[in-house]
Structure 1
């Protein structure tokens, strides 16, 4: 099955637990050195009680299973996680295209500094690193990076969208 056979759609209440399970599997695979701040049951409750009913939550559905999840809130791309078996198949690219379509004025997100594959992925999609922190302000207490994306017509003249480090990096 290819990413072309996957449907991206708004999450329904029944998608909350499968989406949470994708998040849990993906986090474990992509971030093995990062301490999770919440137990599995808390993550599932967060999806069921907060993300799906109150945020713009999208899922990638393959037949009857959820293989990816994306959460938008305002101009913030808050979550983008793929089932580990679905990484590298273009599904993340489709989610980013959808996020840009849904937020044409720009997007921002945080990712952990140790997640180099995520850095490469977001930079390939025109996101720019604008801030780095020591992790004191996130629940995992893990150093992170703030990325932003603006459509080409909103970038300063001469800005190609390549990644830059801010002062102090």
Structure 2
């Protein structure tokens, strides 16, 4: 769980630098141990001994998908996303509206934008977007 939390933090901070420092490493580890691990299937992608990407998903939802910045653009996220797609369909997820790289990633993999919010309901108070994927 510690390694998954670290991948999450490194990728999150790179993609969303305006939210750096939102949580401490201890809070990240607690979140993975007490929430993600208990409620989701968690898969990792390893490059040798290095955990370079993670996906946490449950029926109908992708809760987390993070890839280390150094491993992005090499198919890691797609491989992890395919694990969830093989397990469940349809799937939905939230991402921040300003995270244009993530939005392009999901749209290129057949996720459709179905909702945008002002962020009032999320912890970060950051406008977000909900995407849905339906198996063809």
**2:135 pairs with 1:151:** yes
Between Structure 1 and Structure 2, whose CA radius of gyration is higher? 1
1:43-86 residue CA offsets vs partner (Å, 9 max, x unmatched): 11111222124421111122222111100022100100001100
**Gap change, CA 1:146 and 1:36, over 3 Å in 2:** farther
Kindly report which structure 2 residues correspond to 1:27-42, keeping only aligned pairs within 5 A, or say none. Answer: 27-34=12-19, 37-42=22-27
Query: Residue 106 of structure 1 is aligned with which of 68, 90, 101?
Result: 90
Query: What's 1:115 paired with?
Result: 99
Q: Give the number of equivalent residue pairs.
A: 136
Q: TM-score under structure 2 normalisation?
A: 0.94
Contact 2:44 2:80 in 1 (8 A): no
For structure 1, the 5+ residue unaligned runs are 1-15, 153-169
**Gap change, CA 1:54 and 1:130, over 3 Å in 2:** closer
Aligned-pair distance for 1:37?
4.1
For structure 2, the 5+ residue unaligned runs are none
- CA-based RMSD of the aligned residues comes to 1.3
